[in-house]
Amino acid sequence: MTDDREGRVRAMVDRAASRMLDATVLERIGIAIASTLLALLIGLGIVAAAGHNPFRFAYQLIVGSFGSERAVARTLRYSVLFVLAGVAVAVAFRAGVFNIGVQGQFVVGGFATVVTIVRVAPHLPNGTGSGIVLMLIGTIAAIVAGGLYAALPGVLKAYSGANEIITTIMLNFIAIGAVGWLVAGRFGDPEATATRTERLPEHVELPSVVFDDPNLSIVGILLTVAVVVLVAAVMARTSFGYDMVTSGYQETAATYSGVDARRMIVSTMTLSGMVAGLGGAVFAIMIQGYFTDPSGIGNYGFDAIAVSLLAANNPVGVVPAGLLFGGLESAGSHIQINSDVPVQLIDGIVGLVVLFVAVPELFRIVARRTGLGGDDE
């Protein structure tokens, strides 16, 4: 009886997750735009009701996101992380596997990057060439660490029937707690005033060209675009990608066609974790230059769930969704400094966007009632 109930719940979750996937491309774009605009309008209404000037708030949103070169660089910096984490979520969700553990995989990947580079650096000479080698080694370490950490709940789901939603959530807390303990202990920098690891060597840095921002590199942006293109191509143009989606949503059909569905579930989670680990490497190398207590690095992995949802779990669609969330994050930082409007309203707007994206049928009904949508079938 319990198995039947769990099966029904699982089917309901699958239908909810695939609702956006059933929409046409134009419907997806329309739903995303309508969700964002409606969330912003309601957010401005809340600002006005709280006694603040909604027009000034809207102005600060724009200025804080794209109003200056510094704001654009800040938006792109956040967007790089949201896109990479969003692609990690989209890989799993697209294949019918719910990886809620991207935050933990991001943390493990970033920590592995820093520890690897710090430990290997003394054995190589200083210089640009050594810096490139160290960054490559650190990035590989992050990809491997993130992939292995995600493979664990994949194995548990595939071979023991464990609920991956629960296991990945728990592994988030384990990663944050364990890495925080290691940063504060064995791998901490005793000379630092804050809890963090040693800094990466000075020659381990990405070039700051195009943008005059030490925490943003065109290399990080290009790497993110390359990951999006590669993952999209794998998902849409290869038999491996097709088998991933089939195994997640139609396990019986996949097995009948000769695909090992359980192995594909593990492969899907591993690929998702590898992308999340790469995001952690970019964060550690391009932005921080060290690794600190993971409870304070930002909720990129958690917010990535909303990014992927807004993009209908499409790796290419994650790019504009990531830019939107990056802009909101950047605007939040700007508003916190230059306005008396509570920055928590930004989180409220993001929550409203997710809420409206999660109910696409609402917009289809409105479109049909107003004559803007297609006829009922």
User: What is residue 360's three-state secondary structure?
Assistant: helix
Specify the pLDDT at position 71: 93
Cα angle vertex 165, ends 164, 171, to 5°? Answer: 80
- As beta bridge partners, residue 196 has 292
Is residue 268 packed enough to be buried (19+ CB in 10 Å), middle (13-18) or exposed (0-12)?
A: buried
> Which pLDDT tens digit goes with each residue over 135-180?
999 999 999 999 999 999 999 998 998 999 999 999 999 999 999 9
In a domain, residue 325? The reply is yes
pLDDT for the residue numbered 3:
53
DSSP helix/strand/coil, 333: helix
What Å distances lie between residue 192 and 81, 187, 292, CA to CA? 26, 12, 11
Is residue 375 in some structural domain? no
Which of 23-27, 60-64, 336-340 shows the lowest per-residue confidence on average (mean pLDDT)? 23-27
> What gap in Å lies between CA 90 and CA 21, rounded to an integer?
12
Whether residue 49 lies inside any domain: the answer is yes
User: What's 21's domain CATH number?
Assistant: 1.10.3470
Residue 374 inside a domain? The answer is: no
Give 311's contacts (C-beta < 8 A, 6+ positions apart): 32, 86, 90, 317, 318, 319, 320, 321
Rounded average pLDDT over 299-324: 90
The reply to whether 376 falls in a domain is no
pLDDT for 230-239, tens place per residue? 999 999 899 8
DSSP tag of 291: -
Averaged pLDDT for residues 15-32: 60
- Between CA 4 and CA 335 the distance in angstroms is 50
Query: How do residues 79-128 score in pLDDT, each as one tens digit?
Result: 999 999 999 999 999 888 999 999 999 999 999 999 999 999 999 999 99
In angstroms, the Cα distances linking 290 to 192, 229, 312, 326 are 11, 29, 34, 22
Structural domain of 313: 2-369
Q: What is the model's pLDDT at position 112?
A: 98
Q: Sign of the C-alpha dihedral, residues 150, 151, 156, 162?
A: positive
- Structural domains in the chain (count): 1
Reported as a single tens digit per residue, the pLDDT across 178-200 is 999 999 999 999 888 888 999 99
Q: What is the rounded CA–CA span in Å between residue 105 and residue 304?
A: 12
pLDDT of residue 142: 98
Supply the mean pLDDT for the chain: 86
- CA nearest neighbour of 303 among 156, 103, 154, 143: 103
Q: Which of 299, 314, 291 is nearest to 350 (CA)?
A: 299
- pTM higher than 0.85, yes or no? yes
Residue range 128-138: mean pLDDT, rounded: 96
Q: Is residue 46 a part of any domain in this protein?
A: yes
Query: What pLDDT is stored for residue 261 in this prediction?
Result: 82
Reported as half-sphere exposure (CB side, CA atoms, 13 A), residue 186 has a value of: 7
